[in-house]
Amino acid sequence: MNFWRKLTRFMGVFGRTPRRRKVRALLVGLNNAGKSTLLHRLKADRERNVSRKPIAPTIGFTTDTFLFNNVKFTVNDMSGRDGYRSMWEPMYAQCDAIVFVLDSTDQLRFAVVKDELDMMLRHPDVAARPGLPILFVANKAAAPDACSASTVAGALALHERIEPDRPWRLATTDAAAAPGQPVDDGLREAVEWLVDTINVTDRR
Amino acid sequence: MPYVVRNSMWIDVDINSPINLQTYNCCMTLTDVHGDNDNKFVVVDFGSGSSSPQIKIFKGLKQTHIIHLNEKPSAIVTVYTDNSDQHIPCIAVVIKNEIYFYRNCKPYHKYSIHSTTLKDTEECKLWQETEGAFDLLKHLQVLSSTIGFVNLSTTSQQMLCLNECYIEEYFLKHKKNKLMKQHTITCVTELKRNLADVHGVSCLVIATTDKISILDTESFKILPDKYELQGETAYMCAIGLYNVDYKILVATRTGRLYIFSKSSTSGYKVEVTHAIVAVILRIDKFICCTIDGLLQCYTLKCVSLWNVKLPGDPTCMTNMYVKSMSLEFTIVSCITSNVDGLTKGLILMFSGSTIVHKILMPDPVTCIMFGKFGQEENALIMISSKSKVDIKLLKRTATFDLCARPTLTAPTPGNLSIPKRSNVFIEQTLREREHCNEMHVRTQQTWQTLQIIVLNERINSIKQKITNQFLHTSAQLLGLGPRFKIRFFLKNLSKEPLIGINVAFLYNAQYHTIESPSCSMPIIVPDKEIYCETFVTFCTYGGSDERAIDIVVSQRANILYRAKVNMPVYNIQTNIEESNKT
């Protein structure tokens, strides 16, 4: 009897634990927005001993993986420089989620972000997949001249611009915060939301 | 919702709280003031006139620092003064005869050009010998018209500018003092010393009222190179490296342009007829914009390359270098007025002498700046006459139409580009001169041969038999001879009328004469038959193949149809005899 109970509990653990899944995410945004820093931060949550060197601007793109809540993220970290932004387009077709990083201190270039976002939403690979979730990350929120999330959403007119059935979310964070400090900035929740959304869209 | 038009090349920055600035083109710059790899917009705001001018530093759209100035500056420029890794530049502010260097928005150094004392000049004698203040004023006015206002001492200059009621007082105050000549700095520009890198240490090229000197910013000492010119410098540009080779372009207020280089001290000179608005110096040429609306380009040896008439009055000009596309443009801002008399701004982008892009602005633009602003590589900052700041960012996907289009080109005054007289050129000219007769004959012969070849080919093409499915023809030969009538019928089988048809009769003049060997036909409507006729007269006897007459039907240059009509063998003698018998 005791044995059976043990066995069912053992089986139950297996049953309740979802299988480790894989998510391909695309990390885009203008140069100096903090894409590589954000990726570094997401990685550092698991690996505490990551060196904190200043991150050099990405050239082309880099691919990195990290584990989040038993989901394996494969992230294509795209360069945001003028010349490399055209490389984003071929990557839209082969991703499960798009993470768009913004510099919330750079009000001057909100117009550029708007333009890039428009081009992204109009791209056939994105427009044809209304279920493709977009996570906006307003980075550098701790800077003194940073705009609030509502200002960012208003400046980019996110509510008007994005199709009503596309799942999206705006999160604020400060990716450059030291890993030891307790950071409570909604990034974790946002990534959890992203995982859930991909789950939902997968089942559909 | 301010929405960016898809096909436009620029992204308008939404400036929520308008920025108002009163400034000049020489008093603004884009530079990385704090060394954090983020270019700031540094600008002198002259204000409305009631407050003292201030230097404002904008990080993006936010103003972060203010430096208060006591006097109105004539120019600001940023220079790197050392090779440290922090890469923090100095903002050099030129006020009267002094240059203030600010680093990290704090005063760092002050350099002043010392005034000189005048001795034993005509002016000194005037001051010593004249008793009354108004006598002196008269003498000084005469002197000023002969040697020029610029060459007078500052003491005299101030006296000439004073209000009449203060002259007596001023005269008594300065009578016993020595005459001082203070050199005002009118223009300043930077010149890299060793490295053409952005962070390379620069020298300052300083233009005072009568000469150009170069200041080393590491030691704050004047370097030995000095250039003299006539007239006050209004605009100045420098290119190159101080230690290697450099060119300095100087434009004076009266419309003279000088080019000084390290290798030569004298410098080339051009005089333009109108006042200069702005100048741009490039590696191999310079562009000068004058108040009469002419954009002129010269080589560094002052040979005119091209002139373009602008559609309005120019206000300012700047250089635009798009690094990602490796394109260099000249941006000119013009004032245009429409039918209602309202003035509008027009920004023109020239690639060479061709306009590649136009931007219409609601107000005339007085200041324009292109460069890296913040993180954006290609930003265009414009300040309108209503002191409103507009910022446009070049789209990543923007393309410029670079194909050459005809522009309003003003006639080039003289200065034709004559090829250089090399040895080969001279020898060739001599040879040509000696053999002129032979050359002429040879050319004529070749020309005639060519004509003959062309004609032969034409005849060959005519001689081939050609038929046309849309043209039905038949010929009748009427009469007994020696005079015949040829009647040639044409019928149009196609569905469209034939226009401009010519019929020609080719014959051998040995055997026949034809009265009218060609006739032009009227329009031939479909399914209609018309004919033309002409008379043929035989001249000689005998029969051979060459008796045939060719009929050629052509429509303009195209030959539609060609056929041969065999003439009957006719013997005049026998026929006459036969007729006599009958």
Q: How far apart are CA B224 and CA B486, in angstroms?
A: 101
Q: Please tell me if residue B94 touches chain A, with a CB cutoff of 8 Å.
A: no
Per the CB < 8 A criterion, the answer to whether A39 and A89 are in contact is no
* Nearest CA-CA partner of A112 in B532, B295, B393: B393
Binding residues of A: 29-36, 58, 80
**Which of A31, A81, A82, A122 is the best substitution to test chain B (most B C-beta atoms within 10 A)?**
A82
HSE (side-chain half, CA atoms, 13 Å) at B262? 13
Residue from the list B4, B62, B377 with its beta carbon closest to the beta carbon of A145 = B62
DSSP state of B462: H
Cβ contacts of A32 on chain B, cutoff 8 Å: 38, 375
**Least CA distance to A145: which residue of chain B?**
B62
Per the CB < 8 A criterion, the answer to whether B322 and B402 are in contact is no
Binding residues of A for GTP: 29-36, 80
How far apart are the two ends of chain B, measured CA to CA in Å? 110
Measured CA distances, B564 to B460, B467, B471, B520 (Å): 15, 12, 16, 19
**Do residue A32 and residue B375 have CB atoms under 8 angstroms apart?**
yes
Q: How far apart are CA B92 and CA B321, in angstroms?
A: 24
Q: How far apart are CA B295 and CA B290, in angstroms?
A: 7
Residue-level pLDDT at B442: 93
Determine if residue A34 is left, alpha or beta; phi over 0 gives left, psi from -120 to 50 gives alpha, anything else beta.
left
Residue-level pLDDT at B224: 87
**Do residue B11 and residue A85 have CB atoms under 8 angstroms apart?**
no
Q: What does the pLDDT look like over A178-197, one tens digit per residue?
A: 555 555 677 888 888 988 88
Q: Please tell me if residue A31 touches chain B, with a CB cutoff of 8 Å.
A: yes
CA A36 from chain centre, in angstroms, equals 11
As given in the structure block, the two tokens for residue A135 are 């996570």
| Overall size of chain A counted in residues | 204
β-strand partners of B259 = B249, B268
SS3 content of chain A, % helix, strand, coil (to 5): 40, 20, 35
Measured CA distances, B120 to B117, B128, B301 (Å): 10, 11, 40
Cβ contacts of B35 on chain A, cutoff 8 Å: none
**Do residue B393 and residue A160 have CB atoms under 8 angstroms apart?**
no
**Least CA distance to B325: which residue of chain A?**
A83
**Which of B16, B325, B375 is the best substitution to test chain A (most A C-beta atoms within 10 A)?**
B375
What is the crossing angle of helices B154-161 and B122-129, to 10°? Answer: 60
CA distance B374 to chain A (A): 8
CA distance B384 to chain A (A): 19
Residue-level pLDDT at B402: 77
| Burial zone of A89 (CB within 10 Å; 0-12 exposed, 13-18 middle, 19+ buried) | middle
SS3 of residue A187 by DSSP: helix
Q: Sort strands A134-139 and A97-103 into parallel, antiparallel or unpaired.
A: parallel
Cβ contacts of A145 on chain B, cutoff 8 Å: 59, 62
Residue-level pLDDT at B3: 37
Q: Please tell me if residue A110 touches chain B, with a CB cutoff of 8 Å.
A: yes
As given in the structure block, the two tokens for residue B172 are 């008594």
The parts of chain B modelled with pLDDT lower than 50 are 1-6, 416, 577-582
Q: Please tell me if residue B61 touches chain A, with a CB cutoff of 8 Å.
A: yes
**Do residue B60 and residue A160 have CB atoms under 8 angstroms apart?**
no
**Which of A78, A107, A108 is the best substitution to test chain B (most B C-beta atoms within 10 A)?**
A108
DSSP per-residue codes, B289-317: EETTTEEEEEETT--EEEEEE-SSEEEEE
Measured CA distances, B302 to A66, B210, B241 (Å): 64, 22, 21
Cβ contacts of A111 on chain B, cutoff 8 Å: 4, 11-14, 393
Residues A15-29: what's their mean pLDDT? 75
What ipTM goes with this model?
0.82
Q: How far apart are CA B576 and CA B256, in angstroms?
A: 99
Residue-level pLDDT at B582: 41
| Residue in the block written with tokens 């203070």 | B182
**Do residue B14 and residue A111 have CB atoms under 8 angstroms apart?**
yes
SS3 of residue B158 by DSSP: helix
Residue-level pLDDT at B17: 85
Residue-level pLDDT at B236: 92
Residue from the list B12, B376, B397 with its beta carbon closest to the beta carbon of A109 = B376
Per the CB < 8 A criterion, the answer to whether B141 and B167 are in contact is no
Per the CB < 8 A criterion, the answer to whether A99 and A120 are in contact is no
**Do residue A119 and residue B397 have CB atoms under 8 angstroms apart?**
yes
> Which H or E element spans position A159?
helix A158-161
Cβ contacts of A30 on chain B, cutoff 8 Å: 375
Cβ contacts of A155 on chain B, cutoff 8 Å: 14
Per the CB < 8 A criterion, the answer to whether B398 and A115 are in contact is no
CA B493 from chain centre, in angstroms, equals 59
Residue-level pLDDT at B1: 34
Confidence band of A204 (pLDDT split at 50, 70, 90): very low
Q: How far apart are CA A70 and CA A17, in angstroms?
A: 9
**Least CA distance to A57: which residue of chain B?**
B37
Residue-level pLDDT at B89: 92
Residue A21 has pLDDT above 60, yes or no: yes
Cβ contacts of A119 on chain B, cutoff 8 Å: 397
CA distance B376 to chain A (A): 7
Residue-level pLDDT at B237: 92
Residues A152-162: what's their mean pLDDT? 88
Contacts (Cβ under 8 Å, ≥6 apart) of B174: B155, B159
Q: Please tell me if residue B409 touches chain A, with a CB cutoff of 8 Å.
A: no
Q: How far apart are CA B58 and CA B30, in angstroms?
A: 10
Q: Please tell me if residue B240 touches chain A, with a CB cutoff of 8 Å.
A: no
> Which H or E element spans position A156?
helix A149-156
Residue from the list B61, B395, B396 with its beta carbon closest to the beta carbon of A108 = B61
Residues A18-29: what's their mean pLDDT? 81
SS3 assignment for B191-244 = EECCCCCCCCCEEEEEEECCEEEEEECCCCEEEEEEEECCCCEEEEEEEEECCC
Per the CB < 8 A criterion, the answer to whether A122 and A85 are in contact is no
**Do residue A111 and residue B12 have CB atoms under 8 angstroms apart?**
yes
SS3 of residue A115 by DSSP: helix
Residue-level pLDDT at A50: 52
As given in the structure block, the two tokens for residue B384 are 């309108």
Which residue segments constitute the domains of chain A, with CATH numbers given? 19-202 (3.40.50.300)
As given in the structure block, the two tokens for residue B397 are 């996907």
**Do residue B376 and residue A112 have CB atoms under 8 angstroms apart?**
yes
Cβ contacts of B57 on chain A, cutoff 8 Å: none
Q: How far apart are CA B271 and CA A127, in angstroms?
A: 61
- Give pTM, 2 decimals: 0.70
Residue-level pLDDT at A46: 54
**Do residue B324 and residue A83 have CB atoms under 8 angstroms apart?**
yes
CA distance A171 to chain B (A): 23
**Which of B321, B394, B396 is the best substitution to test chain A (most A C-beta atoms within 10 A)?**
B396
Size of interface A-B (CB pairs under 8 A): 57
Per the CB < 8 A criterion, the answer to whether B153 and B136 are in contact is no
Residue A12 has pLDDT above 70, yes or no: no
Q: Sort strands B75-79 and B90-95 into parallel, antiparallel or unpaired.
A: antiparallel
What amino acid is encoded at B371 in this protein? G
Cβ contacts of A109 on chain B, cutoff 8 Å: 60, 374-376, 393
CA distance B202 to chain A (A): 27
Q: Sort strands A97-103 and A21-29 into parallel, antiparallel or unpaired.
A: parallel
Per the CB < 8 A criterion, the answer to whether B302 and B268 are in contact is yes
| Residue in the block written with tokens 């009621």 | B165
Q: Please tell me if residue B403 touches chain A, with a CB cutoff of 8 Å.
A: no
Q: What does the pLDDT look like over A90-105, one tens digit per residue?
A: 999 888 899 999 998 8
Longest Cα–Cα distance of chain B, Å, equals 144
As given in the structure block, the two tokens for residue B52 are 């003292």
**Do residue B374 and residue A119 have CB atoms under 8 angstroms apart?**
no
Q: What does the pLDDT look like over B321-361, one tens digit per residue?
A: 988 888 899 999 999 887 777 888 999 999 888 888 889 88
Q: Please tell me if residue A56 touches chain B, with a CB cutoff of 8 Å.
A: no
